[in-house]
Every structure is written in C-alpha cells, then in structure tokens.
C-alpha cells in the first residue's frame, strides 16, 4: 500500500455523497496513473479492478470507448476516439429506458432526421414520454459529459429502429448539464453506490447528422439511408460486455471465498503457533501434512485438530459442505471466463475482417456464461456471507457489501431469464437439426458438439452400485455424466416443445413461453458442461506445468462435478436429473454423498493455502474477518470507530425523542416553560 | 395515513444517523400510543410490525420483558416488571459475545459473588477479555438503559455457568453510560440499520446480590446456591424468541410477494380499465373469471391477456414459475407460524405450572420452523427482488432493503446449521427409539408421529405413469409423499450414523459431525411435513368457513407440495429424493412439471386478488413498484428527489476531482496561483 489514497477501510460507513466523492477521487487517481505510465487501453481493465470501488470509468472503458472503436467510422474516430482513450471526455452508454431494458428494439427515444438542421443536416433528439427516459446508465447522473445514445432513427416518417449516436450531455468547460437535458442520479441502491447510475430526459435537442455512428450505416444529407457491409456488429457491444461481466464473476466469488475460509480457520491459525512450532512438529503432523508443509511454507495452517480446544468451524463438515463447493465454483468460473476470453479475442479479429462464422458460437458462449455465472456468483457470495455467522452481517465483514455491489451483474445486459431463452433456442435448434435433418455436427458451434453426438434412442443404463464408487473418481465418467444429463434435458425439452407446437397447430411467441422453464434448465445444464470442459482443459495443462498444484486442483474439480450431480448449485435438477438421465442409480445418493464427504476432508488441509494462493490483497478483500494476518476480533472491535453514531455517548436521538419516552413529564415541563419564556436553546451535545 | 409521523417513503435514502433518529421518533410515538390507549402487553407486537422500522422496542418487548416475567421472582418483578411494561426503563437481552453466539454455555463474562459487597452481598461483573465483550444486543448501543445480562456465576471459585442478571447500563436521568461500562454501536450493517445493535465492555462493576433473577435459582447471602423447582425455563426466552421470529417469516415474504406480483401485473392493470369496463364484459371474460369477478370486486385484474400489446411479465411462465411458489410458501409459513403459536400458548400455561411434558415438542417445533422459515423467507424475498428486474435493485423498490433487514433473522438466536443439529438429533432419537426399542409412538412429540408409523422394511413402490397424473392432484398422496420422503431421509441418515458409530467404536461429537449434512437435509424434509400438515389443516377449516377462498387456496396448497417434489425450495433434495424414496417414478419429472405448469395457469387470475387480500398498506410495502394504485413509473421518477446527490446539478465530486481528470492543466494552474497568491477560497457550490 504505497498509495495512501487507495485506502478502503472506511468505505462501508460512508454516506452516499461521501462514497460518490471517493469514487471521483479514485477516478482522478486512475487517470493520473494511466497518463503518467502510458498504460495502453487493453491493459487498463485489471487496474480498474484494483481500485476497490465501482465507478464511471468502468462504463467509459467497457462500453463507451469500445463502441466508438467498433461502430464509428474512421473520420468519427478521429474526432472522438483519441479524446476518449485519453479521458479528455468522459462517456457512458445510454440505451436502457425506464420501461425498456433488455429489449433494445422497444426503446422509445427518437432521433428524427431534419435536412435543414446545421449545414449538413441534423437529428432532432427527444424523449417523447416518461417511459422513454434513459434510466440506469452508469456515470450518466453526475460524472459523464457525453455518451453513446441509442435512439430510434426516423427519416421522413419511416422508423429504422434504434441506432447509436455520439451525444454530449454536459458543458466541456463548466460541466453544467446542457440546455434541454435533465440529468439525475437514480438514487440509492442495495450496493454499487460509488456508481452514479443516471436518468436523462431530453427535450428537443438538435445534433449534427454526423453524430450518428456511421461505420455500418450511413445517412446522407438528403436522408438516404444505407447499410455498409455487414451490420452484425451493431449490437456487438453487448456481447463484449457480457464477456467482461462473466470474466469477473470468478474473481468476485474468490474474494468472498477467501474471506470466509480464512475467518473459518482463523482461531486455529492462532493456536498453531503455540501448539506446533518447535521440535515436536513430528509428533503433531502426519505424512501428508508434512508434505504440504514443505511445499507451502504455511506453518500456521497445517496442524491437526487439537482436542484440547473448541473445534474450529472450518473443521465442521456442515461448513465445508457449503464453502468448498463455492471454492470449486470460483475456479470453474474463472477458468471458463479466461477460456471464453481467448475464444472471443480470436473471433473479434475475424469480425473486424467482416467474417462472422463464429457469431453464434460467441453469442451462445457469452450468453450462457453471463447468465449462469452471475447468478451462481451472487448466490455463492451470499452463501459465503451466511457462513460467517452473525458477524457476516456487518459491513465490516466486507463480503456483504461486495455481494450487493455484484448483484446487479445478474440483471443488467440481459438477466438470466432473457438470456436463457436465447441460449435455449440455440440448444433447441441444435437438437432439431440433428433429429430432423440428421446433422452430425455444426462446425460453427463447436461447444454444442456434444448434442450432436448424443443418441436419445439409446438411453444410457445406470452403473451398478459396485462400480459407482470408482466411477465417481473417474474424470471421463464425470464429464460424460454432465453431458448425458444435459442432453437428457435438451432432448426431453425439445420433445415437449414439439408436442406444444403440434397441439397449438402453429409456433409463436406463446409456444415458446410454454417451455421457458425447460429453457432455463437447459441453460444451466449446458453451463455445467462448459465449466467442466474448461476446468478439465486447465487441469490437464497444469498436470505437466505444475503437478503439485494439479494434484490438489484435481480434488477441487471432482468436488465441482459431484456437487452438480448431488444437488446442483442452482435449484433445478441435481441428483434427480442424473437418475432420470440414466447416469446414476436411483439409490446412489448415499454413495455420492460419501464420496463428497471424503473430498471435503481431502480438500480441508489445502483450503487456506488455495485461497492464499489467489493472493488477493487485504485492501481489496476489505474485510476485518478475512484479513491475511488473522487479527479478526481486534479489527472488528476497532472498526466501530468508523461508525458515526459512536461520535458521542449520548445520541441526538435521546435528546430529540428517547428522553420524552422515558420521562414524558419533560415534554410537559418544556411546554410549560415555553409558554412562560422564549424558545429553549439548541439540543445539548452529548459527551465524547 | 392519519398519523403523519408514520411516513416511510424517505427511509431508503437516509444516512445511518438519520435512520437511528427516525427509529427513536417511532419509539416515542409507539410508547405514546400504548400509554394513551392502555394497550395491553400481549397486543403490542402487531402494532410494532406497523411501525415500518426495526428498533430497540422489539428487543424490549420480545426478550427483555418476557425474561423478567419468566425468570424474576415475585419481589423482583415488583421492582422492575411494571416499569418495563410501562417503558419507564428500556431494556434488552445481552447474551451474545464477540466470540460466542449460539453456544450460551461458552460465554465468558463473569459474575463473581462477594458476600461483603453492599449490605446483602453482591456480584462483581467483569469482561475478562476482548472475546467476552457483549456484541449484537439490539438497542444496547445507544437506546437502552438496562438489560438482562447473561454472565457466568462464580461463587467461592466454583463456576455455576451462565445466569441472567438485571443490569443497569446508563444513568436513569442523564442517559450517560455508567462508570465502568463502555457502550458502542457495532456499526453499519447490510440492513436493520434503524436498530442500534451494541457492544458492551464491563470493567469491574458491582451490583447487588438480588440483581440475579431468582425464580429458579437462589443464591443466599452466604453464597449458598440452590435450584428452586424446575429450572427448565432458564433458557426459555430463546424458544419464545424463535417462535416470534418464525411467526413473522410469512409476513415478511408476503410483503415481497405483494410488491413483485403487483409490479409484474401493473401495466395490465392499467389496460384493463380500458378494455373491460362497460357493456362488453361478457365478451371478454370466461365463466371462471366472471365468478372470480363477482366474488372479488377486482375489476381491473380480471381480463384475458390481450394480443394487441406487449405481454406483461406476470403472464410469462418463467416469471410465474419463480413467483407463485413464493406466494404458496408465504401462506405455508404464515399458517405454520400461527398454528405453532397456538400450540406454544397452550404449552406455556403448563410450563408456568411446572409441567414440562411438551418441552421437547416445543423445542423441535420452534427450532425447525425458525431454522427453515427464516432461510426460505430470505431466499424467497431475494427471488422476488430479482423478479422485479433492474428496478428491483433500487432501494425505492422496497423489497431489497426489506430483504436485507430480514436477513439476520436467519442467523441470530441459532442459525440453520446449529438448529438443524438440534432438530436432527431429535429426529434420530425418534428413529432409534422406534427401531431399537420398537416404540410405536411418543406422546410427548406428536409432530414426530409420522416417523413411528413408517416401516423402512416395506419401501413404497412408485406409482405407474398412468396413475401419476391423478395422484398429483390427490392431497392425501401429496402429504403422504412428503412424509415418505422425510422418512426415507431420516432412516437412511440414521443408518449412516450407526455405521459411523460402529466404524469409530464409540459415539462422540466427531461422530455427529460426520452426519451434519444429513441432519440438515432431515430438518428441511421435516419442515415440509410440518408446513403441509398445517396448511392442509387450515384448508380444511376454510372449506366450511369460506368455500370460495378454499377453492383458490387449494391450488396454492398443491403448488406448494409439487414445488417441494419438483426441485424443493432449498437446495437439497427435490425430485431425486422422491425417486429414491420410491414415491415418484424416475421418469416422472415431465408429468410433474406439466401439472405445475397447469397450476401456474390456474393461479394466474387469482394472483393479484390473493395478494391484495393480504391488505398490506402501501406505507409498509414502502415500494414505488408495489403500490396499490399501480402508478409505478411516475413514483419511480419522483423518488429520485430523495437522493442527496440530486441537490445540485454539478456535484462536489466534480469540483474536487473530476475537473482535474478532465482538465489536468487546472491543477497546475491552481498550484501556480497558490504559489503567487494566498490559498484559494473554498470549493464553489454547484448550481441548483
């Protein structure tokens, strides 16, 4: 911590205003560092994650600047892009309206073309109703002075649908909102309160014709509208944003898991130094632990449970059963995010060369991971918080406020339901192109290949109980089981869908609605296939790169797969699905749970080293309970100094109200005194 | 809203200090109403729920006063009880310490008896270490001037364990904390911030001998310690508190369900008046709907979906699939809380007459409901919040802050894990007294009777597919299915436990730890048996009292049971358990889901009338999205006026930081100016 302004330990006690000012300070600091060190645009995102606060810069870097890169033509980029990359202007992405979020085609803000505006023609931008007020864009309330505005293009009465515009909202010099533009912060949220999510109402504002981004669509001065090349990139910003969101999910969960595991182990850490240091280490450790000790240099964590004191919570199987699957999930989501990022980078090069073969694959991949990872991340963080007991409810524990700030990720840019409908339809398509058209593969969607390889006419038979124990340790079996289960869900859902179509005699939006529950289940099942494949890929690489690490992560991988098979991370499916799919015997739950319990025991000695290995600094964990040094209770007690209520012993609430509750006669006495004399002086201060 | 001080619509934007002062104002108002109307103690709890804020009065009424009633002897009650009932003193219950919550026997605060203190002997109270600091008691930080203090009694070196004391903490007149007593608020929490949860450090404070509550334990002047009658009531406050907590769970969930269902239907409500009012009602409604119309007088809600506009979210099966099971759960938990309350009232009369036959039944009943209802309530409220989409993340939507304020209920007074271990052991006892001792019943635990009636040697066979459709509508089948599933879990878990005992050759705390996961699953399964039994009992009563209501609630009851069978409300179990228990065929998931979908459709027209029927006033919902009048978007937009950031167009953050980010030269210019001239004046204010 060489930079004092990165202090975060006062964050959880701030008022909304104080937090926003802190966010502005962080923004200034971030830009200063970027400028002084000439940090290229591509390398700024990890730096942002280190700021310890959510702020307008995020939208500027993830949505505003990339949209200019992807959708502005060369001349337009010359006007705006360099300024954006250098933060001489601050932008955001204004698409969502009060009544339209995910459904971009429904937005109502209008951009009417008028040839006689300005010299070269212009756009008349307007918010036609309350419902069309822009609502949610991060940074739009107070911070940004411009944005990408999505508005419905109307030329000579014809509606061309939503298009992106470069739109200035505040004066470059004074920062005052421009005439005709009303800007507000949309108010306190459950979390994410460093961000000034904004509302914007536009009253008849004119902007030049060339403020529409014209890489793929051109509107001439005479109002002629034409497309240039392929406009598939027009909404590509959303795909990129979904990728970025899902890439961060593993890290967010990892923070919560780190704090929870450390807190659950902390008193044992204290005890260790007393019990184990010194000559009798050999008497206290078994061979496995000595190995781990040699490899980890983590003396404090490697002691056998002592019977002389209360057991520590991390040794309870109930605690392990909740936390360790979250540890496994954090790895799974992190690996999936990284692998999807690599695939996207490759695809982006093709897209920019107007080759769009990988478009569906990228859409399904990023939508699945965005939909599922954000929900599992939020659930997992809350599970971790609950595992910290009562103290976990304090802001000082860190996990709670971080969970709340991560929550909107499950909603914005397409929530689980919306995305699962899109993903589910692609999965249905794959099933139907196999079943109806006999296709054996679709080279454009390699991640759906397992669907083409499934034969629903040959249902698998569940293994016998005698074989099951060893199969549950067989990675090929585990991965095949997740795929068979997914295929069972996909193919039975497709059949239900066909029946609905046949019953209704046609296929429409209402037919799709009859299988939405199935589409959600398909999306979850598909996500687990992706996670396990990506996880196994990384595990295989590690087996040569770092066999020691791989030998531990192997256990974590197995726990991930078995958790899906036992009860699932989500609420749908789990064991019942696997029985129905013929992958597990109906009486196999006992064996499954026994293996899980063994894995929990095996992972236990590695749990703290694993999270310490993530090396997340204390200022980012921002948790008195998750501190690396384990000084939990002192820190917790000290943290109360941050609470404004503790500035005085006797609070204002006593002078204003409590004293009259306890001593109602004082109210009467004061009233009598007021009649007899001038108004009483101000409330006396409490003593310090 | 005749009482202006019950305004709540500014609550979600307040700073911590402002909220605490508001809580004090509500406290004063509450006591004024109680005094002016002579409201008896027993009738005050519902009034507290109407205050729209969590405050110190709750602890005073639910824990402080009842403890005096139950554990103080007659003379002591004469000193303190009347004052407490009249709020001349304000108390709380100080048991939890920084390192000991649920495990009361582990608390470390000491009360050493000294015969020569005062005239009649006294106690030397002390906090021996940081770990022993009292931590969490509601109202202890700033509001209360006394408490029930749990401290470890030590007489002549002998430790008698924790006992309750009446303990003054603040001056009756000035409210200053007393010498030797350090009080603090424990700081900002995720929610529940009207409550001043406190920390207390006691440094060598002496109190009279008779400040120990002596109804069941007497310590004489010479230090003689003796029990009087049966001291089973000593920790009875916890049982009562658990009952109160679980009784409120259904109401909390009902609030969230109301807001979510109204918001999901709101635009259709608007449309109805246009579409249906007038003479052509007959053309738009089918017979069922006309019936409902006649019975409900809820014209606006009863229209068929129109194809002329966008579908409303409440018509999507995906939305119904998430919300309606929460509607069902709210009823189930509410009925269970009420029935448990009746049983407890009856038992309490026996307890006060020193008859303790019902003790185990009450312990298992309140522990099961407390453990499961609070977890399902919290999960359900968050599901409802997510169903409100992006706007649900705003405090203005109400459900979020309410969810966060309800969250600690899942943790305090025994969290799920701690209670499930207690419940699970009782369930294991029942299994073993049946299997080992051949008992056919235990009259002291009627709610466990179903365990005695189960024969694990005769496993049930799953019904055939052809029978299943009608069985899924058969209430006897549904209830029997929940019981068979629970018994399957109980008996297989008991077997696993026996195997562990046999393997380890003994039974200790570590043996119990090996089945903690099973104990959790047993507790869930048992809770669903209780819910469905209580629900069915009320349904049967309603069938004669109000057949119309019963005909709708019947659907809700079925949905409740089928949701447990399909995927469970919790994460463990669901369909797989029922297959393993032989209750459902392994390929029955499709039929189950089909029936659920039909129920969702059937419940849809009744959803809004059902929540309107709860009649929860707008000021308690405190949600711009859940308003009875449906003016959602106007209210949402207006709510931004509450946000302090919107007091100015240009924020302080701009003047302090953003301007230097956008115009770095200003920093240099100012530095130059500062060298040339005196310090610049204060930050200029933003324009209004």
Tens digit of each residue's pLDDT (9 = 90 or more) over A606-645: 999 999 999 999 999 999 999 999 899 999 999 999 999 9
Looking at the fold, whether B128 and B24 belong to one and the same domain comes out as yes
**Would residue A629 count as lying in a domain?**
no
Express each pLDDT in B270-297 by its tens digit.
Answer: 333 222 322 333 444 444 444 433 333 3
Render B40-87 in DSSP notation, one character per residue.
-GGGHHHHHHTTSS--THHHIIIIIHHHHHHHS-HHHHHHHHHHHHTT
Q: What is the 3-state secondary structure (H, E, C) of B204-257?
A: CEEEEHHHECCCCEEECCCCCEEECCCHHHHHHHHHHHHHHHHHHHHHHHHHHH
Looking at the fold, whether A189 and A264 belong to one and the same domain comes out as no
> B13: which chain A residues are within 8 Å (Cβ-Cβ)?
16, 187-188
**Would residue B583 count as lying in a domain?**
yes
Asked if residue A272 has pLDDT above 50, the reply is no
Q: CB distance from A159 to chain B under 8 Å? A: no
Q: CB distance from A15 to chain B under 8 Å? A: yes
More confident residue, A70 or B377: B377
B651:A21 CB<8 A? yes
Taking residues B305-317, what's their average pLDDT? 68
How far is residue A424's CA from residue B686's CA, in Å, rounded to a whole number? 50
Express each pLDDT in A17-35 by its tens digit.
Answer: 999 999 999 999 999 999 9
Mutate to test the interface with B, among A304, A318, A592 (most CBs of B within 10 A): A318
Asked if residue B555 has pLDDT above 80, the reply is yes
Express each pLDDT in B664-682 by its tens digit.
Answer: 999 888 888 888 865 544 4
Among the candidates B178, B204, B229, a domain finishes at: B229
Looking at the fold, whether A457 and A591 belong to one and the same domain comes out as yes
- Asked if B448 and B364 count as a contact pair (C-beta separation under 8 A), the reply is yes
Asked if residue B493 has pLDDT above 60, the reply is yes
Asked if residue B345 has pLDDT above 50, the reply is yes
Looking at the fold, whether B213 and B249 belong to one and the same domain comes out as no
A143:B658 CB<8 A? yes
Closest CA–CA distance from residue A421 to any residue of chain B (Å) = 10
Looking at the fold, whether A140 and A31 belong to one and the same domain comes out as yes
- As annotated, the binding site of B includes 96, 138
Active-site residue, A647 included: no
Residue A506: pLDDT band by 50, 70, 90 thresholds?
confident
Q: How remote is the C-alpha of A612 from its chain's centroid?
A: 22
Tokens of B328: 């069902």
Asked if residue A421 has pLDDT above 70, the reply is yes
Range list of β-strands (E), A314-393: none
Please provide the average confidence, as pLDDT, over all residues in chain B: 89
Q: CB distance from A662 to chain B under 8 Å? A: yes
From residue B245, how far is each of A394, A430, B48, B252, B333 by CA, in Å?
20, 50, 13, 10, 11
Length of chain B: 688
Q: Provide CB contacts within 8 A for B507, sequence distance 6+.
A: B501
- Domain holding B23, by residue range, is 4-229
Express each pLDDT in B428-486 by its tens digit.
Answer: 999 999 988 889 999 999 999 999 999 988 877 899 999 999 999 999 999 999 999 99
**Would residue A235 count as lying in a domain?**
no
Would you tell me which residues 70-129 of chain A have a C-beta closer than 8 angstroms to some C-beta of chain B?
87-90, 96, 98-99, 101, 106
Closest CA–CA distance from residue A575 to any residue of chain B (Å) = 5
Closest to B660 (Cβ–Cβ): which among A28, A408, A496? A28
How far is residue B302's CA from residue B677's CA, in Å, rounded to a whole number? 74
Looking at the fold, whether A674 and A578 belong to one and the same domain comes out as no
Express each pLDDT in B145-154 by its tens digit.
Answer: 999 999 999 9
Residue A52: pLDDT band by 50, 70, 90 thresholds?
confident
- Asked if A532 and A485 count as a contact pair (C-beta separation under 8 A), the reply is no
The predicted pLDDT at position B510 comes to: 77
Asked if residue A447 has pLDDT above 90, the reply is yes
Looking at the fold, whether A301 and A411 belong to one and the same domain comes out as yes
Q: Residue A142 is part of a domain; what is its CATH number?
A: 2.40.110.10
Closest CA–CA distance from residue A544 to any residue of chain B (Å) = 36
Q: Residue A337 is part of a domain; what is its CATH number?
A: 1.20.140.10
Q: CB distance from A304 to chain B under 8 Å? A: no
Among the candidates A561, A593, A613, a domain finishes at: A613
Express each pLDDT in B223-281 by its tens digit.
Answer: 999 998 776 766 567 788 899 999 999 999 999 999 999 999 985 333 332 223 223 33
Q: What angle do CA A118, A121, A123 make, to 5 degrees?
A: 95
The predicted pLDDT at position A668 comes to: 87
**Would residue B629 count as lying in a domain?**
no
Taking residues A44-60, what's their average pLDDT? 89
Looking at the fold, whether B387 and B522 belong to one and the same domain comes out as yes
Looking at the fold, whether B368 and B322 belong to one and the same domain comes out as yes
Which range has the worst mean pLDDT, B3-12, B168-177, B559-568, B649-658?
B3-12
The predicted pLDDT at position A637 comes to: 95
> A15: which chain B residues are within 8 Å (Cβ-Cβ)?
15-16, 644
Q: CB distance from B500 to chain A under 8 Å? A: no
Closest CA–CA distance from residue B9 to any residue of chain A (Å) = 13
Closest to B90 (Cβ–Cβ): which among A130, A662, A687? A662
Asked if residue B569 has pLDDT above 70, the reply is yes
Residue A60: pLDDT band by 50, 70, 90 thresholds?
very high
The predicted pLDDT at position B105 comes to: 79
Express each pLDDT in B162-206 by its tens digit.
Answer: 999 999 999 999 999 999 999 999 999 999 999 999 999 999 999
A658:B90 CB<8 A? yes
How far is residue B241's CA from residue B63's CA, in Å, rounded to a whole number? 7
Q: CB distance from A183 to chain B under 8 Å? A: yes
> B89: which chain A residues are within 8 Å (Cβ-Cβ)?
662
Catalytic residue among B382, B413, B518, B558: B413
Express each pLDDT in A448-464 by its tens digit.
Answer: 999 999 998 887 789 99
Catalytic residue among A53, A339, A382, A413: A413
The predicted pLDDT at position B505 comes to: 81
Closest to B640 (Cβ–Cβ): which among A25, A187, A643? A187
Looking at the fold, whether B254 and B210 belong to one and the same domain comes out as no
Asked if residue B298 has pLDDT above 70, the reply is no
The predicted pLDDT at position A464 comes to: 93
Asked if residue B104 has pLDDT above 60, the reply is yes
Looking at the fold, whether A496 and A385 belong to one and the same domain comes out as yes
Asked if residue A199 has pLDDT above 80, the reply is yes
B654:A25 CB<8 A? no
Residue A354: pLDDT band by 50, 70, 90 thresholds?
confident
What is the number of helices (H) and of strands (E) in chain B? 25, 11
Picking from A31, A21, A26, A27, the residue whose alpha carbon sits closest to that of residue A7 is A26
Residue A294: pLDDT band by 50, 70, 90 thresholds?
very low
Looking at the fold, whether B338 and B454 belong to one and the same domain comes out as yes
Q: CB distance from A457 to chain B under 8 Å? A: no
B318:A516 CB<8 A? yes
B514:A389 CB<8 A? no
Asked if residue B685 has pLDDT above 70, the reply is no
From residue A271, how far is each of A623, B73, B112, B180 by CA, in Å?
21, 43, 29, 31
A597:B514 CB<8 A? yes
**Residue A230 CB neighbour total at 10 angstroms:** 13
Asked if residue B48 has pLDDT above 60, the reply is yes
ipTM of the shown complex? 0.89
Residue B654: pLDDT band by 50, 70, 90 thresholds?
very high
The predicted pLDDT at position B288 comes to: 41
More confident residue, B38 or A52: B38
From residue A288, how far is each of A293, A601, B99, B476 by CA, in Å?
9, 13, 31, 54
Closest CA–CA distance from residue B440 to any residue of chain A (Å) = 27
Strands B134-135 and B198-202: antiparallel
Total domains in chain B come to 3
Mutate to test the interface with A, among B263, B645, B669 (most CBs of A within 10 A): B645
From residue B398, how far is each of A40, A189, B380 by CA, in Å?
42, 10, 15
The predicted pLDDT at position A292 comes to: 39
C-alpha Rg value of chain A to the nearest Å = 29
**Would residue B235 count as lying in a domain?**
no
Long-range contacts, A478-482 (Cβ 8 Å, 24+): A478/A532, A478/A558, A478/A561, A478/A562, A478/A565, A479/A532, A479/A533, A479/A536, A479/A561, A481/A561, A481/A565, A481/A578, A481/A583, A481/A584, A482/A525, A482/A528, A482/A529, A482/A532, A482/A561, A482/A564, A482/A565
Q: CB distance from A178 to chain B under 8 Å? A: no
Express each pLDDT in A93-152 by its tens digit.
Answer: 999 999 876 677 789 999 999 999 999 999 999 999 999 999 999 999 999 999 999 999
Picking from A71, A74, A24, A66, the residue whose alpha carbon sits closest to that of residue A41 is A66
Asked if residue B558 has pLDDT above 70, the reply is yes
Asked if residue A405 has pLDDT above 60, the reply is yes
Residue A233: pLDDT band by 50, 70, 90 thresholds?
low
Q: CB distance from B295 to chain A under 8 Å? A: no
The predicted pLDDT at position B650 comes to: 97
The predicted pLDDT at position B498 comes to: 92
Closest CA–CA distance from residue B430 to any residue of chain A (Å) = 21
**Would residue A256 count as lying in a domain?**
yes
What number of CA atoms fall less than 13 Å from residue A364's CA on the CB side?
Answer: 23
**Would residue A392 count as lying in a domain?**
yes
Among the candidates A197, A229, A261, a domain finishes at: A229
Would you tell me which residues 216-235 of chain B have a C-beta closer than 8 angstroms to some C-beta of chain A?
none
**Would residue A7 count as lying in a domain?**
no
Closest to A24 (Cβ–Cβ): which among B187, B646, B657? B657
């Amino acid at each position: 911590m060489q930079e004092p302004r990165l202090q975060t330990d006062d964050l959880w006690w701030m008022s909304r205003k104080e937090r926003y000012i802190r966010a502005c300070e962080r923004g200034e600091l971030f830009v200063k560092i970027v400028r002084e060190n000439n940090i290229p645009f591509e390398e700024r995102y990890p730096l942002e994650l280190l700021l310890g606060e959510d702020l307008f810069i995020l939208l500027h870097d993830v949505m505003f600047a990339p949209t200019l890169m992807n959708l502005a033509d060369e001349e337009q980029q010359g006007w705006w892009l360099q300024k954006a990359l250098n933060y001489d202007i601050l932008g955001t992405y204004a698409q969502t309206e009060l009544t339209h979020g995910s459904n971009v085609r429904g937005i109502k803000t209008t951009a009417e073309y008028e040839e006689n505006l300005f010299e070269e023609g212009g756009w008349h931008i307007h918010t036609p109703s309350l419902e069309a007020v822009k609502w949610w864009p991060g940074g739009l309330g107070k911070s940004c002075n411009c944005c990408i505005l999505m508005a419905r293009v109307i030329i000579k009465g014809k509606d061309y649908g939503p298009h992106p515009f470069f739109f200035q909202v505040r004066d470059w010099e004074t920062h005052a909102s421009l005439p005709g533009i009303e800007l507000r912060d949309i108010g306190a949220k459950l979390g994410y309160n460093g961000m000034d999510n904004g509302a914007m109402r536009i009253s008849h504002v004119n902007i030049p014709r060339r403020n529409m981004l014209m890489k793929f669509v051109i509107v001439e001065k005479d109002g002629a509208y034409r497309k240039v090349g392929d406009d598939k990139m027009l909404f590509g910003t959303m795909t990129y944003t979904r990728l970025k969101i899902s890439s961060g999910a593993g890290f967010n969960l990892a923070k919560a898991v780190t704090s929870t595991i450390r807190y659950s182990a902390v008193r044992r850490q204290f005890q260790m130094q007393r019990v184990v240091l010194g000559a009798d280490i050999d008497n206290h450790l078994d061979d496995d632990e000595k190995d781990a000790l040699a490899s980890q240099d983590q003396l404090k964590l490697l002691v056998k449970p002592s019977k002389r004191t209360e057991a520590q919570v991390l040794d309870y199987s109930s605690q392990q059963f909740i936390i360790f699957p979250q540890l496994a999930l954090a790895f799974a989501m992190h690996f999936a995010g990284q692998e999807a990022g690599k695939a996207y980078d490759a695809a982006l090069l093709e897209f920019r060369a107007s080759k769009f073969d990988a478009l569906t694959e990228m859409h399904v991949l990023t939508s699945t991971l965005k939909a599922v990872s954000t929900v599992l991340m939020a659930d997992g963080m809350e599970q971790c918080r609950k595992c910290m007991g009562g103290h976990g409810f304090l802001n000082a524990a860190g996990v709670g406020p971080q969970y709340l700030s991560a929550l909107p990720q499950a909603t914005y840019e397409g929530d689980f339901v919306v995305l699962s409908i899109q993903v589910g339809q692609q999965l249905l398509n794959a099933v139907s192109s196999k079943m109806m058209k006999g296709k054996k593969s679709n080279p454009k969607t390699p991640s759906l290949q397992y669907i083409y390889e499934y034969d629903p006419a040959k249902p698998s038979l569940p293994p016998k109980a005698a074989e099951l124990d060893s199969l549950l340790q067989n990675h090929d079996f585990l991965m095949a089981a997740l795929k068979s289960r997914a295929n069972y869900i996909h193919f039975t859902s497709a059949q239900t869908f066909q029946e609905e179509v046949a019953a209704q005699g046609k296929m429409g939006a209402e037919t799709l609605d009859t299988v939405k529950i199935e589409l959600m289940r398909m999306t979850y099942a598909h996500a687990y296939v992706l996670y396990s494949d990506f996880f196994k890929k990384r595990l295989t690489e590690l087996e040569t790169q770092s066999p020691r690490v791989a030998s531990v992560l192997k256990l974590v991988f197995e726990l991930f797969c078995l958790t899906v098979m036992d009860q699932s991370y989500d609420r749908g499916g789990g064991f019942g699905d696997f029985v129905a799919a013929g992958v597990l015997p109906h009486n196999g739950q006992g064996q499954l749970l026994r293996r899980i319990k063994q894995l929990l025991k095996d992972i236990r000695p590695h749990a703290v080293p694993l999270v310490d290995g993530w090396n997340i600094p204390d200022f980012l964990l921002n948790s008195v309970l998750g501190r690396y040094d384990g000084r939990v209770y002192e820190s917790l007690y000290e943290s109360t100094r941050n609470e404004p209520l503790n500035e005085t012993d006797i609070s204002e609430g006593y002078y204003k109200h409590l004293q009259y509750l306890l001593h109602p006669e004082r109210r009467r006495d004061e009233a009598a005194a007021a009649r007899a004399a001038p108004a009483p002086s101000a409330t006396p201060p409490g003593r310090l």
